[in-house]
């Protein structure tokens, strides 16, 4: 079972990961307390401070952002482009001097965020709102990584379209990528609802003026991500057009080849039919030499047609 991780950032001392039961009774100036309860069951929250426990106990509404007297709460979806994989939600509860994050499973970017700061930091100078924005930015970076991965897969697919003869496999890969982009767009649309709520004037009235610029920055990052996902979708559509063009080209080559075979077969059949008619002419009494002549004529006609087709690049 995953346990709660508690971090005490102190800009005038040492940053440290502490046991929740050893937390300071009072968070001083230039200090910030972050409690990450991702992947923790209800029993794991027994030792939360009273104000955090009360905030966590508040009934969740239907909105992506909820503002209370001493804290506010918002929900961000964690991106997942995998089919059938449930997109987890990450809940941020932001108090006056602390931040609580909760989700069903611990997102990987959380551990990456913690491991980035190996030495002493000045995170203690950040307000809980500013620190929450830093986590959201790290979460949005996961969206960018997913877009980059999909674009890499599309580049590989485009190369395979020109070289591979496994058309069914290419079509399945194309459908898979299209589904991944669609799920990523849906998840990003949910995130956009939250970010738009965090950049509204009525929310700005409840936070410090110095923190507003951080939330405004989230809006700009969101716009770039939406453009990137839209570009990925257009690229997938372009790959599908490339695939259909390649299939049409191969079909055209096949039709040309079948047409040439049909013409050759027709000429051979017509020749055999003419010389197979029951007319008593001197040629029909020529024996082996006549047979060889007719056979050579049919083979020569077929070879001539193939040479002309290759010369004209019909296939």
Spans of all domains in the chain = 5-247, 250-311
Cβ-based neighbours of 33, under 8 Å, separated by 6 or more: 6, 7, 8, 9, 23, 24, 27, 97, 98, 99
The predicted structure's pLDDT at residue 229: 93
Instruction: Choose among 159, 128, 155: nearest CA to 27.
Output: 128
Q: For residue 178, give the H/E element and its range.
A: helix 167-198
Task: Kindly state the average pLDDT of the residues 196-213.
Answer: 90
**pTM of the predicted model as reported, rounded to 2 decimal places:** 0.77
Query: What is the pLDDT confidence band of residue 49, given thresholds at 50, 70 and 90?
Result: confident
The predicted structure's pLDDT at residue 283: 60
DSSP 250-273: HHHHHHHHHHHHHHHHHHHHHHHH
The predicted structure's pLDDT at residue 302: 83
Helix (H, G, I), strand (E, B) or coil at 235: helix
| C-alpha distances out from residue 215 to 56, 79, 166, 221, 308, Å | 23, 20, 48, 10, 70
Query: What is the pLDDT confidence band of residue 166, given thresholds at 50, 70 and 90?
Result: confident
The predicted structure's pLDDT at residue 119: 63
Task: Kindly state the average pLDDT of the residues 88-116.
Answer: 85
CA 55 to chain centre: 34
Neighbours of 306 (CB within 10 A): 15
Q: Is the pLDDT of residue 1 over 60?
A: no
* Each residue's pLDDT tens digit, 21-43: 666 667 778 888 888 888 777 66
Task: Kindly state the average pLDDT of the residues 170-186.
Answer: 90
| CA–CA separation, 96 and 125 (whole Å) | 13
Instruction: Return the CATH fold of 5-247.
Output: Beta Polymerase; domain 2 (3.30.460)
Query: What is the pLDDT confidence band of residue 312, given thresholds at 50, 70 and 90?
Result: confident
What rounded mean pLDDT belongs to the chain?
Answer: 83
């Amino acid at each position: 079972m995953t346990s709660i991780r508690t971090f005490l950032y102190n800009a005038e001392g040492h940053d440290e990961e502490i046991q929740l039961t050893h937390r300071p009774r009072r968070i001083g100036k230039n200090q910030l307390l972050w409690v990450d309860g991702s992947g923790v069951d209800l029993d794991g929250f027994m030792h939360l401070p009273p104000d955090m426990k009360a905030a966590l106990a508040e009934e969740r509404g239907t909105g992506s952002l909820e503002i209370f007297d001493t804290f506010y709460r918002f929900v961000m979806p964690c991106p997942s482009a995998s089919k059938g994989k449930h997109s987890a939600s990450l809940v941020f509860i932001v108090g006056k001097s602390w931040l609580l994050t909760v989700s069903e499973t611990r997102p990987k970017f959380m551990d990456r965020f913690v491991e980035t700061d190996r030495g002493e930091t000045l995170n203690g100078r950040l307000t809980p709102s500013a620190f929450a924005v830093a986590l959201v930015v790290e979460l949005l970076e996961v969206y960018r990584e997913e877009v980059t991965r999909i674009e890499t897969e599309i580049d590989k697919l485009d190369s395979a379209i020109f070289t591979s003869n496994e058309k069914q496999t290419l079509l399945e890969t194309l459908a898979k990528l299209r589904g991944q982009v669609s799920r990523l767009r849906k998840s990003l649309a949910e995130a956009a609802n939250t970010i738009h709520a965090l950049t509204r004037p009525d929310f700005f009235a409840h936070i410090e003026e110095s923190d507003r610029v951080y939330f405004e920055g989230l809006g700009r990052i969101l716009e770039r991500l939406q453009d990137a996902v839209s570009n990925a979708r257009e690229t997938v559509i372009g790959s599908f057009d490339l695939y259909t063009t390649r299939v049409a080209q191969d079909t055209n080559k096949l039709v040309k080849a079948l047409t040439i075979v049909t013409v050759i077969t027709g000429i051979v059949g017509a020749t055999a039919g003419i010389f197979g008619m029951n007319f008593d002419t001197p040629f029909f009494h020529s024996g082996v030499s006549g047979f060889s002549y007719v056979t050579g004529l049919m083979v020569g006609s077929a070879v001539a047609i193939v040479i002309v087709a290759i010369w004209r690049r019909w296939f």
